[in-house]
Chain A
Amino acid sequence: MSARRPYVRSMDGWWRRNPFFIVYMIREGTAVALQSPWSLAFHLVLLVSFIYHTWSWFSIMPKTMPMILIGGRKLQPGVITGAGLAVSAVVCAALFLLVMKLAS
């Protein structure tokens, strides 16, 4: 008759026993926000308001900036707005690509 009596230890609180696992649980926790449709909707609303905010900011910028003269002629409002929007688009795209690269 075998004298073996293997003892199985509990997994209760396993992630609290090691800082590595605590960080892992935080990482996994950030996915919970994505699960909730309300959270997703909230983030979409924020994205739309950010885009409109950028558009309106550069639209009014020709009026809020002092006049700039280049070669004797006033810098046109369309150029100011267009340049601002173009730079915003490029920076957003670069950030997006960076995040995608880091996440891969």
Chain B
Amino acid sequence: MADNDKIIEIEVLRYRPEQDKEPFFQSYQVPFTDDMSVLEGLQYIKDQLDGTLSFRWSCRMAICGSCGAMINGIPKLGCKTFLREYYPRKLRVEPLAHFPIERDLVVGVEDFIGKLERIKPYIVPKEPRTLAQGEYLQTPAQLERFLQFSSCINCMLCYAACPQYGLDSNFIGPGVLALLHRYNADSRDGARAQRMELVNAEEGVWSCTAVGYCSEVCPKGVDPANAVNQNKTASAMDYFLRFVQPRGASR
């Protein structure tokens, strides 16, 4: 690195379970150029300053969802956030909120993964279908109803943003409910009735109080708040019409 590089102070929340009683902040002086992301700053720390720093990352292009962290208290992707935005002030990096800390910036994701698996995140055909019938056909309007919700990269920033999830982790949460809605809203799918059981539960949409911060922090424009709150109407309709008509077909 050249001598006239700017130096930014990055303060990271450290936690080594085998030696630390509780988390503590450690500061590093990181030389940077204007094109460096926070992720690259962490990589500099690990490569040049402190090899013990632990953090998740993979694609470095905002598609894998691995590098989420609290950057100055706001859930962001490290690869999509730039050091130049914070200079000359210092940068504080902490693990994603509302998740237990395993080590340094690595959080426990079992709860989130378990919830993803519970919602049947795949197309369940409405009736058996043969190869000879060919592919499903969809109009642009049918695509529009679910397309944005399919953009989710499972980065969990919305869970770090959601205070209801932070207060009670039984809540299924914004990202998983958005994915659930992606399948319910898909004209090819026929499993709406089974998914509605999860939606209607207390830990489904009814734990949401429309804070809206989840949609604010989503790096892919999924708008999970909309997915969740659309399903409050769907859930209420299901309840009041449960004796009137069979529910099961998606629209």
Contact = CB atoms under 8 A, between A and B. Distances in A.
B216 A20 contact: yes
A18 B75 CA distance: 11
Interface string B205-217: 0000101110010
Contacts, number: 43
A18 B73 contact: yes
A6 B102 contact: yes
A24 B100 contact: no
A8 B209 contact: no
Contact of A3 (B17, B97, B108, B211): B17
A15 interface: yes
Contacts of B22: 7
B31 interface: no
A18 B15 contact: no
Contact of B166 (A4, A5, A14): A14
Contact of B102 (A4, A14, A20): A4
B59 interface: no
A24 B18 contact: no
Interface string A1-34: 0011111110100110110110010001000000
Contact of A7 (B73, B101, B166): B101
B163 A28 contact: no
Interface residues of B, number: 20
Contacts of A6: 17, 100-102, 108
B211 A9 contact: no
The prevalent SS among residues of B at the interface is loop
Given A6-B102, A20-B216, A28-B209, A11 B108 contact: no
Interface string B8-30: 00000001011000110000000
Interface residues of A, number: 16
B167 interface: yes
Nearest to A20: B213
B74 interface: yes
Interface string B81-103: 00000000000000001001110
A8 B213 CA distance: 22
Contacts of B102: 4, 6
A63 to B, nearest CB: 51
Given A6-B102, A9-B23, 5 more contacts: A3-B17, A7-B22, A11-B167, A15-B163, A20-B213
17 contacts: A3-B18, A4-B17, A5-B17, A5-B18, A6-B17, A6-B102, A7-B15, A7-B17, A7-B22, A7-B100, A9-B97, A9-B101, A14-B163, A14-B166, A18-B74, A18-B213, A28-B209
Interface of B: 15, 17-18, 22-23, 73-74, 97, 100-102, 108, 163, 166-167, 209, 211-213, 216
